Amino acid sequence: MKKFVSVAAFLTSLLLVFSCGQRLPKTADLLITGGTVYDGSEKSPVKADIAVVGNKIVYVAPAKADIVNRCAAKRTINAEGYVVCPGFIDPHDHLEPTLLKDRANESYLRMGVTTVIPGMCGGSRYPIGDFFAKLEEQGIGTNVASFTGHNTIREQVMGDEARYATPEEVEKMKELVRQEMRDGSLGLSTGLFYVPGCFSETSEVVELMKEMGKMGGMYTTHVRNENKFNIGLVNSIREALEIGKAAGVPVNISHIKCLGRSEWYKADSVISLIESYQQQGMKVTADQYPYLASGIGMASALTPAWCRDGGTKAMRERFKDPELLARIKAEIPDILYERGGAETIYISKNAGEYSQMTLAEAAAKMKKSPVDAIIELLSDKTKSPYLNTFIANEEDLTKYMKQPWVMSCTDGSFGSHPRAAGTYAELIKQFVVEKRVLTLDRFIRRSTGQVAETYGLKNRGFLRKGCFADITIFKPEEVVPHASYADPTLFATGFKNVIVNGEIAVENDVYTGTLSGMVLRHEVK
């Protein structure tokens, strides 16, 4: 009994240290009072006050009615009745063009996101140092960290060539990887599905990951095949896990899904495979966007990989060879079937008069079969059709979403798919409030602190003293996604405030114009 009492006393004193150990400053730049604070950890929410000085949180403690009298703040937000949580961190997107053109990255700010991480699926801006410098020079609305793409590195050394790398070329690639890591890359992403990553053997990737791992980076991968082609979904996941194991680095499976009708209902197999590696002590995570359609270029989606060898120009040359064309056309129907068929495949942009219609509608307009319509669209040098293809099913999506090692992501590039403007609002409205697939606690954790921990983003993703003041304030029942496949550019609504490094970036669904985002560079160990 005595022991129990002393343990209880110890715990109480710890709690006192947590809640009262923080001194409220006499002045602050920003006070957020009385909100229901989810701090980004597994802990239950607490009604608390937050004080911000400069770009840092200096105080988080249980709410006190008289706080406004004890701390003179330049600005006070009464968050009573609102959720106050860390700004969402999107661990996977393709925002390089957006960040360089529309520097505000407004569609992300408007759905509560304060940090984005591009450089995914094997493709990044090279060299990363120049990309970061450009972002800093122009100013950015959200924080930006970035990965380096394996395909990008491979292109630097050997172009689009469809062959294995020589040992000398691997050495050259390692050198570039080291430089990218020194310049602040979070790690290496692979897109083994895409050209030229698809031409690399596993050992090449292992060698590069070992080099990256020595510098404390992380491996994230768009696996070789998320569909039935080539080695298939489950074997592709296994390849990624084996690469991580051989290189001794943590593995993140990018936009986890079961792609195509033949791979549907395999979520259980994928989950148990991943868990078997986790049980061996490996750190394995995944990220996921909450949509049943993917966004992808038409050539990557609807032609066999061999016909894209050498890039778009080489593909168009093959279309001119009657024998090769016949072979390509013979293989397309199966790919079309896996991607849901011409009736559901939606051409979202870059196809001139055939944009914003289904492939079946475009084919009817051309008075051609869907297969011939694909060849015609891809042969046209003025077009680069981008598609939304309905490749997933809800059962797999839900199973993945419930895994404790799966994080929220957008996989977004603005204007081509609703995910770049709707993901976090969709998760809140559809998956937390309506379908209750995720609890609000779990949604916030997988969108904030868990991402920061996985990617080693220091002092981000948590509402704690000393952390950067990236904060999102909303009422779940007020959040509405508006982006759709027909108009993927519509911003979400229902966010009272989004704060980036202490500056208010969104106020009642209006972007304030601030560019307070920072470049987050990985520090080499």
- Point out which residues bind Zn ion (CB under 5 A): 121, 222
Q: How far apart (Å, rounded) are the C-alpha atoms in residues 490 and 451? A: 26
Residue 143 or 294 having the CB closest to Zn ion: 294
| Distance in Å, CB of 444 to Zn ion, minimum | 25
Residue 308 or 460 having the CB closest to Zn ion: 308
| Distance in Å, CB of 227 to Zn ion, minimum | 12
Report the SS3 class of residue 275.
helix
User: Whose structure tokens read 């148990």?
Assistant: 272
Residue 40 or 418 having the CB closest to Zn ion: 418
Decide if 252 contacts 286 (C-beta within 8 A): yes
Q: How far apart (Å, rounded) are the C-alpha atoms in residues 252 and 450? A: 13
Residue 294 or 448 having the CB closest to Zn ion: 294
Q: How many angstroms separate the most distant Cα atoms in the chain?
A: 88
Residue 222 or 238 having the CB closest to Zn ion: 222
Residue 294 or 403 having the CB closest to Zn ion: 294
User: Side-chain half-sphere of 521: how many Cα atoms within 13 Å?
Assistant: 16
Decide if 413 contacts 287 (C-beta within 8 A): no
Amino acid at 314: A
| Distance in Å, CB of 255 to Zn ion, minimum | 6
Residue 222 or 266 having the CB closest to Zn ion: 222
| Distance in Å, CB of 108 to Zn ion, minimum | 18
Residue 228 or 417 having the CB closest to Zn ion: 417
| β-bridge partners, 73 | 28
Residue 154 or 222 having the CB closest to Zn ion: 222
| Distance in Å, CB of 26 to Zn ion, minimum | 50
- CA 69, 74, 80, 83 dihedral sign is negative
Residue 253 or 452 having the CB closest to Zn ion: 253
Q: Give the Cα-Cα-Cα angle 376, 382, 386 (nearest 5 degrees).
A: 70
Residue 466: φ, ψ to 5°: 95, -15
| Distance in Å, CB of 226 to Zn ion, minimum | 8
How many other C-beta atoms are found inside a 10 Å radius of the C-beta of residue 515? Answer: 15
> Which residue in 339, 338, 337, 315 sits closest to 327, CA to CA?
315
Q: How far apart (Å, rounded) are the C-alpha atoms in residues 23 and 517? A: 28
| Distance in Å, CB of 410 to Zn ion, minimum | 12
> Which residue in 152, 148, 155 sits closest to 187, CA to CA?
148
| Distance in Å, CB of 197 to Zn ion, minimum | 11
End-to-end CA distance of the chain: 47
User: Whose structure tokens read 């609305």?
Assistant: 141
Binning the chain into helix, strand and coil, the percentages to the nearest 5 are: 40, 20, 40
| Distance in Å, CB of 221 to Zn ion, minimum | 9
The encoded tokens of residue 222 equal: 């768009």
Strand duo 357-358 + 406-408: pairing: unpaired
| Distance in Å, CB of 96 to Zn ion, minimum | 14
| Distance in Å, CB of 29 to Zn ion, minimum | 39
Packing angle of the helix pair 370-379, 322-338 (nearest 10 deg):
120
Q: How far apart (Å, rounded) are the C-alpha atoms in residues 295 and 386? A: 7
Residue 220 or 501 having the CB closest to Zn ion: 220
| Distance in Å, CB of 224 to Zn ion, minimum | 12
Residue 407 or 500 having the CB closest to Zn ion: 407
Q: How far apart (Å, rounded) are the C-alpha atoms in residues 349 and 319? A: 22
Q: How far apart (Å, rounded) are the C-alpha atoms in residues 495 and 424? A: 11
Rama region for 171: left / alpha / beta (φ>0; ψ in -120 to 50; rest): alpha
The encoded tokens of residue 91 equal: 């661990």
User: Whose structure tokens read 């000085």?
Assistant: 53
Q: How far apart (Å, rounded) are the C-alpha atoms in residues 435 and 19? A: 35
| Distance in Å, CB of 316 to Zn ion, minimum | 24
Residue 254 or 472 having the CB closest to Zn ion: 254
